[in-house]
Amino acid sequence: MKLTRGKITELVNEPGCEHNHSHAGQPNKKACKQQAQPGAAQGGCAFDGASIALVPITDAAHLVHGPIACSGNSWGSRGSLSSGPVTYKTGFTTDLTENDIIFGGEKRLYQAIAQIVKHHQPAAVFVYSTCVTALIGDDLDAVCEAAAQKFGTPVIPVHAAGFVGSKNLGNRLAGEALLDHVVGTAEPEYTTPYDINLIGEYNIAGEMWNVIPLLEKVGIRVLSKITGDARYQEICYAHRAKLNVMICSKALINMARKMEEKYGIPFIEESFYGIDDMNRCLRNIAEKFGDPALKQRVEKLIASENAALDQKLAPYRSRLKGKRVVLYTGGVKSWSIISAAKDLGIEVVATSTKKSTEEDKARIKQLLGKDGITIEKGSPQELLKVIEQTGADLLIAGGRNQYTALKARVPFLDINQERHHAYAGYEGMIEMAKELEEALYSPIWEQLRTPAPWETGKGEQSPVTSDQLTVTSANLRPGGFRQKHSSQS
């Protein structure tokens, strides 16, 4: 895939994305069509977005072609887990020098691929362009093709230089790389009538392991995971699935739409967070297959899981009921976590609409009600204002907002990629309830909100006079001094 202006325009104007649909006769000019300002890296660049989407392919090597500063492996701090290979956790870079930039880095790239194949034997090598290598004009496609033929290992170029756009555009460029070089290049050993792909699910904290067993209980097989806990080979035969289930509405929508056009695979968008959403997900998948026996199995599973869950959640619900939280996250979680919170008796009084599609926003309004507050840009000042205004008991957000919660003296729960707890599926609801209860009822918050003695005047003491305290050379000791009382005391 050559990265041209036409390709970028095509992805920015992705027809499957709700941001590009007109509403009430007015064209939509938000979100995807907004281009990042040059030099503005906050929120992630296209390179970051591409690596986020592809690095969870666990048995592949991910080689960053550029200066070493670009080679930070963000999944080292994210909780995307693997049930097997851990090749994806090793960061590889060509570490370009000034000479390489002047004379070209293609030879260095070829040597790096050769070294990776020799010493690590990955299932495939993904090569990421960066701003520098895109500017100097290194021919990624030619080098990757030559290396693949020489070493017999698939080498996939990923054209997602940081300056071409936002992190979301990088997600889509990653999807294009999979469509152009991976999907459709192999066949599965066998297929079933109930094969599905999960798209936009990255197995954060092992969340997929809460969901896949549920699907297997009713006879639904996850053929390919794109890309959490994925193996390269399974993505090669993803075109044989009967249904694509989108978990993140923005990340890889172009991939789902193009697979429908090319292979006739329909797609639906679902959420694994919350009891109602998990129930709905199972029912919608069964409805798409149209098999009465499958629907019956799904209903039986839902009844069994919900009955067991009600018992396990009862003690948590009694302690969480009526608590008010502010939710600041993005995409599908901006509404799916509201549903999960309601299942626990918690009231979400405000949520963000950052990175949310128009469909997401419609769901948010429906779930929040007329009094709910939507946050477009959640600066620390804005979040502090909303917490005070709503009297919130808790802030649920990404890790970098924990210090905002401390300033507001309210508990905090991490909901983004860096978390270490799985909240998806029915088991995830129990884990979420446990974490929420522990955060809300930690004794530290009562102590933190208690005024300090010098603020109330209760801790004031009379000053020490000179005749009560004499400091001489004999009194001095390492680390301080001791009191010497008068003879009258």
Check pLDDT > 70 for residue 11.
no
pLDDT for the residue 40 = 52
pLDDT for the residue 29 = 46
pLDDT for the residue 171 = 92
Q: Are 197 and 178 in contact (CB under 8 A)?
A: no
**Distance (Å, rounded) from C-alpha 268 to C-alpha 281?**
9
| Mean per-residue pLDDT, 285-309 | 97
pLDDT for the residue 230 = 97
Q: What is the mean pLDDT of the chain?
A: 85
The 10s digit of each residue's pLDDT in 119-139 is: 999 999 999 999 999 999 999
**pLDDT over 70, % of the chain:** 81
Check pLDDT > 80 for residue 66.
yes
**Distance (Å, rounded) from C-alpha 109 to C-alpha 116?**
11
Q: Are 127 and 158 in contact (CB under 8 A)?
A: yes
Q: Is the preceding peptide bond at 227 cis, omega within 30 degrees of 0?
A: yes
Neighbouring C-beta atoms of residue 119, cutoff 10 Å = 9
pLDDT for the residue 470 = 44
Q: Which of 23-27, 203-207, 303-307, 468-472 has the lowest mean pLDDT?
A: 468-472
Check pLDDT > 80 for residue 412.
yes
The residue behind tokens 């010497």 is 484
**Distance (Å, rounded) from C-alpha 12 to C-alpha 215?**
34
Name the nearest CA neighbour of 131 among 169, 165, 90: 165
Assign 436 a pLDDT band (cuts: 50, 70, 90).
very high
Angstrom CA distances, 442 to 283, 412, 419, 437, 447, stand at 38, 11, 19, 8, 10
**Distance (Å, rounded) from C-alpha 73 to C-alpha 84?**
19
Q: Are 324 and 349 in contact (CB under 8 A)?
A: yes
The 10s digit of each residue's pLDDT in 37-56 is: 544 544 578 998 899 899 99
User: Residue 431: which H helix or E strand, with range?
Assistant: helix 425-440
Assign 458 a pLDDT band (cuts: 50, 70, 90).
low
The 10s digit of each residue's pLDDT in 343-386 is: 999 999 998 877 666 777 777 777 787 778 888 877 899 999 99
The 10s digit of each residue's pLDDT in 264-282 is: 999 999 989 989 999 999 9
Fill in the amino acid letter for 309: L
Assign 68 a pLDDT band (cuts: 50, 70, 90).
confident
Check pLDDT > 80 for residue 153.
yes
pLDDT for the residue 168 = 86
pLDDT for the residue 355 = 64
The 10s digit of each residue's pLDDT in 230-259 is: 999 999 999 999 999 998 766 899 999 999
Check pLDDT > 50 for residue 314.
yes
pLDDT for the residue 374 = 85
**Distance (Å, rounded) from C-alpha 348 to C-alpha 358?**
20
**pLDDT over 90, % of the chain:** 62
SS3 243: strand
| Mean per-residue pLDDT, 181-185 | 97
Backbone angles phi, psi at 313, to 5 degrees: -90, -15
